[in-house]
Structure 1
Amino acid sequence: MDQLKVRDDVFDEVTLMALYKLVHKGWITAIGGSISTGKEANVFLGERGDQDIAIKIYRIRTANFNAMSEYIIGDRRFAGIKRTKKDLIFTWTRKEFANLKRAADAGLSVPMPYVWDRNILIMGFLGEDERPFPHLRAVELENPAGVYYEVLLFMRGLYQQAGLVHADLSEFNILYGDRLYVIDMGQSVTPDHPRAKFFLSRDIANINRYFRDFCTVMDEKEIFLKITDGTSEGFTPRSWE
């Protein structure tokens, strides 16, 4: 019964129509098993020819309308959208595609976005042998201070080069494989968003909270300034010692 409920929650009529369109256009050749189930979306392993892809499907029936609206209202890129639940979810999908593209174009380690349609986002698969890379929280790090430094560099690059604040960064939204990857960017906002500073401060606090158990962390205010100040030298590998 649980599997039937998941199927009904994810693969409603709108989603099936979008999937059909993506298959017809050649973006999807096969859909495999589930990679992850999040608060708002399910991610499935897929294939496009001989290439593994990730198929992210936002659940129209069960997505949290109020939680999503906080990150869209105030983002000038998506002004004037309709406030219906369906339109909000479609906008959220388009927003994640746009955010990932900005980050990828800036040379940052994120899933490569390929295409979106309605509530479906097709991305590059991050993993090996059809297994996704583990979340940071599940990895025993040999050099936690070095990984902490990588995360700080990502945050600064995201702000300075891509013009974005992640707005939900934590050990749950970072994958670690051949290198560090940051995922789940539907909520990410531009620095001119009314709550961008709050979101950035929260991201910094989350990262420091996690790494504090493994290495010395920098002062949160200093991190904030180094991320937002374009004239700053940024971070050096030992700048927090």
Structure 2
Amino acid sequence: MSDKVDENVRRREVRYDRERRVRIKWSEDTESLEEVFDRRTIMTVLKMLNTGILKELHGAMKSGKESKIYHGIDPKGKEVAVKIFLTTSNIFRHGRLKYIRGDPRFKDIPHDTVSLVDQWASKEYKNLELADRAGISVPKPIHVEKNVLILGFIGKDGIPAPVLREVRLQAAADWYKKIIDLIKQLYDKAKLVHGDLSEYNIMIPDGYPVIIDFGQAVTTEHPEARAFLQRDIENINHYFEGLNVKTQSPTRVIGAR
């Protein structure tokens, strides 16, 4: 009986010490979160820190209309990206429903914004899982909970790899071919269409493109999949034509797909 009591006391002490260290780490590194995110989001991140999904959460690396991305460290000391979707953003209600409607994986569309944002985070995670399993070059999906998504970090020492727009390409025609091949592989192997591909969501870490931002990606079963695929190709063509690269027409790329 005494041993059981001692063990319970020890567990409480360990839990208290862990929670204290989490609170200290939170206070040191992420005070700005309280100015940006609601209490529900903050508690979700705290839970990840407290349960060991995350070891550390550092400063913001990127801010957008629908999300903010933070640098983090996992329990093994590896760098991760923590993508937190803004539950106050109206962009999900007004600009993103077309990517959810028609997706057989998401038949029930929430009426409240918070639940819709949670579904969007889950959608990005599931899309990345499909792409990753198919061997497509994407950030590795690690964990999703509510509106918080943890991904493999593309970069080094807290500095994210540049996106295509930021890189002065050598042999631009070769890069064009690599990206077009990725688009085709995404469709053929993962059965996905990105749906919003451009020079702003293709990272260039070390000689090979990595496609990011998969929240709006749809399966090839989506009624608008072909139209989204054509638009992705047109966007990439437009960028590379500005670099004097000879491009392929969307019709030729799509072929019999």
Q: TM-score, normalised by structure 1?
A: 0.89
The percentage of aligned residue pairs carrying the same residue is 37
Match for residue 30 of structure 1?
Answer: 56
* Rounded Cα–Cα distance in structure 1 between residues aligned with 2:51 and 2:134: 28
Q: Is the contact between residue 39 and residue 63 of structure 1 (CA under 8 Å) also seen in structure 2?
A: no
CA contact (8 A) 2:33 2:42 kept: no
Residue 9 of structure 1 deviates from its aligned partner by 6.2
SS at match of 2:198: coil
Question: With structure 2 as the length reference, what TM-score do the two structures score?
Answer: 0.83
Task: Look up the SS of the partner of 2:219 in the other structure.
Answer: coil
Q: Which one of 205, 216, 222 corresponds to residue 234 of structure 2? A: 205
Residue by residue over 1:64-103, the C-alpha shift from the partner in whole angstroms, topping out at 9 and shown as x without a partner, is 1211211111111011232211111000000000000100
Counterpart of 1:152 in structure 2: which amino acid? I
What does residue range 95-174 of structure 1 map to in structure 2 within 5 Å? Answer: 95-174=123-202
In structure 1, give the amino acid aligned to 2:49: V
Unmatched 5+ stretches in structure 1: 1-5, 230-241
Task: Establish whether residue 224 from structure 1 lines up as the match of residue 250 from structure 2.
Answer: no
CA change 1:9–1:190 in 2 (3 A) is farther
* Separation in structure 2 between the aligned mates of residue 113 and residue 10 of structure 1, nearest angstrom: 24
Q: Does 1:21 align with 2:51?
A: no
Q: Relative to structure 2, which stretch is displaced further, 199-208 or 76-85?
A: 76-85
- Partner Cα distance (2:217, 2:35) in 1: 25
Is 1:77 paired with 2:121? no
> How much does 1:41 deviate?
0.3
* CA gap 1:44/1:38 in 2 versus in 1, 3 angstroms: same
Gapped regions of structure 2 (runs ≥ 5)? 1-31
Per-residue Cα deviation, 1:97-149 (whole angstroms, up to 9, x for no partner): 00001000001110000010000000010001211000100100111111111
For 1:82 and 1:40, locate their aligned partners in 2 and report how far apart those are by CA, in whole Å: 17
1:44 alignment counterpart: 70
What's the C-alpha RMSD, in Å, of the aligned pairs?
A: 1.5
* Structure 1 or 2: more helix by fraction: 2
Letter in 2 for 1:196: A
Question: What SS does structure 1 have at the residue aligned with 2:115?
Answer: helix
For the residues of structure 2 that align with 1:74 and 1:17, how far apart are their CA atoms? 32
Moved over 3 A (4+): 6-10
SS where residue 165 of structure 2 aligns?
A: helix
Distance 2:171 2:53 in 1: 38
Q: Closer, same or farther in 2 for the Cα pair 1:102/1:202, shift >3 Å? A: same
Separation of aligned partners in 2, 1:39 and 1:201: 25
